């Protein structure tokens, strides 16, 4: 269907039927303002802003941790890998000690 012809027909029908007295003042202008003024949801922009903020936070956290590891002196001779290994195997060592003494 031709959109221009449809628009002319709708406008002709609207002009032939004046609005009732119960319609609030400037009702059509408020409706058109809401229809044209509503921004569309930009999902790509939403993700871009969120990921950019996350990247900035990650860089800041990396810089702080790097500065901390350089400027804080190490008090013990153990390395980070030894600390991680002890932490990960602590639960296994404790569970093994609990079951070793069990004489049931």
Asked if the structure places residue 5 within a domain, the reply is yes
Residue 53, H or E segment: helix 43-71
Domain enclosing residue 49, as ranges: 1-70
User: Does a structural domain hold residue 104?
Assistant: no
Q: pLDDT tens for residues 4-50?
A: 888 889 889 988 988 777 888 888 888 888 877 767 778 898 999 99
Does residue 13 belong to any structural domain of this protein? yes
Q: What angle do CA 80, 85, 87 make, to 5 degrees?
A: 95
Whether the predicted model's global pTM rises above the 0.85 cut: no
DSSP code, position 19: P
Section 75-99 average pLDDT: 74
Cα(8)–Cα(3) distance, integer angstroms: 9
* Domain count along the chain: 1
């Amino acid at each position: 269907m031709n959109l221009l012809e449809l628009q002319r027909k709708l406008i002709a029908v609207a002009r032939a039927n004046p609005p009732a007295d119960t319609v609030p003042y400037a009702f059509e202008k408020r409706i058109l303002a809401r229809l044209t003024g509503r921004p569309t949801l930009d999902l790509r922009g939403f993700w871009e802003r969120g990921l950019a903020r996350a990247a900035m936070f990650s860089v800041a956290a990396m810089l702080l941790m790097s500065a901390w590891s350089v400027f804080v002196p190490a008090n013990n001779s153990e390395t980070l890998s030894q600390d991680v290994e002890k932490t990960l195997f602590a639960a296994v060592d404790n569970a093994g000690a609990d079951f070793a003494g069990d004489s049931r």
